[in-house]
Amino acid sequence: MDDLKKVRRIFLIGIGGIGMSALAVILQKRGFEVLGSDKLNSKTVEILKESGISVFIGHSKDNISQDIDLVVYTNAIKDDNPEYLKAKELDIPVIERAKMLNILSSSKRSIAISGTHGKTTTTSMIVKIFLNASKDPTIAVGGHLDEINGSGYEGTGKYFIYEACEAFGSFHKLFPDIAVVTNIDDDHLDYYENFENLKNAFYQYLNNNVSSSGAIIYNSDDEPLNSVVKKIKNKRKISVGIKNQQAEFVAMDIVLDEFSSNFAVFRQGKILGEFFINIPGVHNVYNALLAIATAYENNIANEHINKTFANFQNAERRFQVKLRSQNLTVIDDYAHHPSEIAATLAAATNLSARHNAALIAVFQPHLYSRTQQLYKEFAKSLSVADKVVLTDIYASREQNENNVSTKLIYDEIVKIKPKEDVFYVEKLENIIDGAIKPLLSQGKSIVITLGAGDIWKIAEELSSKFPNLLFS
Does position 470 have pLDDT exceeding 60, yes or no? no
Q: How far apart are CA 257 and CA 263, in angstroms?
A: 11
Domain endpoint, select from 63, 97, 131: 97
Does position 326 have pLDDT exceeding 60, yes or no? yes
Note the pLDDT of residue 467: 54
Q: Are residues 335 and 387 in the same domain?
A: yes
Residue 232 lies in a domain: yes
Please name the residues in contact with 35: beta carbons below 8 A apart, sequence gap of 6 or more: 9, 10, 11, 12, 15, 53, 54, 55, 56, 68
Does position 168 have pLDDT exceeding 90, yes or no? no
Angle at 34 between CA 33 and CA 35, to 5 degrees: 130
* Beta carbons of 263 and 155 less than 8 angstroms apart: no
Please name the residues in contact with 72: beta carbons below 8 A apart, sequence gap of 6 or more: 10, 11, 12, 13, 20, 23, 94, 95, 96, 97, 100
Domain endpoint, select from 275, 310, 345: 310
* Beta carbons of 57 and 49 less than 8 angstroms apart: no
Round the average pLDDT of the chain to a whole number and report it.
92
Residue 102 lies in a domain: no
* Beta carbons of 163 and 112 less than 8 angstroms apart: yes
Q: Are residues 239 and 262 in the same domain?
A: yes
Q: Are residues 50 and 117 in the same domain?
A: no
The band of 469, judged by pLDDT with boundaries at 50, 70 and 90, is: very low
Note the pLDDT of residue 466: 65
Q: Are residues 269 and 332 in the same domain?
A: no
Q: Are residues 73 and 148 in the same domain?
A: no
Q: Are residues 196 and 328 in the same domain?
A: no
Domains held by the chain: number: 3
CATH number of the domain within which 49 lies: 3.40.50.720
Q: Are residues 264 and 328 in the same domain?
A: no
CATH number of the domain within which 346 lies: 3.90.190.20
CATH number of the domain within which 116 lies: 3.40.1190.10
Nearest one of 291, 410, 288, 283 to 350, comparing CA atoms: 283
Instruction: State the residue range of the domain holding 364.
Output: 320-469
The pLDDT tens digits of the residues spanning 3-26 come to 898 999 999 999 999 999 999 999
> Percent of the chain at pLDDT above 70?
98
Question: How is residue 325 annotated by DSSP?
Answer: -
Residue 3 lies in a domain: no
Reduce the DSSP state of residue 227 to 3 states and report it: helix
Residue 43 lies in a domain: yes
Q: How far apart are CA 13 and CA 390, in angstroms?
A: 32
Residue 161 lies in a domain: yes
The pLDDT tens digits of the residues spanning 254-283 come to 999 888 999 999 999 899 999 999 988 899
Nearest one of 368, 369, 291, 360 to 332, comparing CA atoms: 360
CA distance readout (Å), 169 to 36, 165, 200, 295, 452: 24, 8, 11, 27, 20
Weakest-pLDDT range from 100-114, 132-146, 179-193 = 179-193
Please name the residues in contact with 128: beta carbons below 8 A apart, sequence gap of 6 or more: 145, 147, 308, 312
Q: Are residues 414 and 281 in the same domain?
A: no
Does position 241 have pLDDT exceeding 70, yes or no? yes
Q: Are residues 305 and 334 in the same domain?
A: no
Does position 442 have pLDDT exceeding 80, yes or no? no
Q: Are residues 91 and 115 in the same domain?
A: no
Residue 103 lies in a domain: no
Question: What is the pTM assigned to this prediction?
Answer: 0.86
> Percent of the chain at pLDDT above 90?
74
The pLDDT tens digits of the residues spanning 47-84 come to 999 999 999 999 999 999 999 999 999 888 888 999 99
Residue 416 lies in a domain: yes
Handedness of CA 406, 409, 413, 415 (dihedral sign): positive
Note the pLDDT of residue 315: 72
Q: Are residues 400 and 301 in the same domain?
A: no
Question: Exposure of 241 by Cβ count < 10 A (0-12 exposed, 13-18 middle, 19+ buried)?
Answer: buried
The band of 398, judged by pLDDT with boundaries at 50, 70 and 90, is: confident
Domain endpoint, select from 73, 97, 121: 97
The pLDDT tens digits of the residues spanning 275-291 come to 999 988 899 999 999 99
* Beta carbons of 37 and 13 less than 8 angstroms apart: yes
The pLDDT tens digits of the residues spanning 290-317 come to 999 999 999 999 999 999 999 988 777 8
Q: Are residues 293 and 162 in the same domain?
A: yes
Note the pLDDT of residue 471: 32
Residue 332 lies in a domain: yes
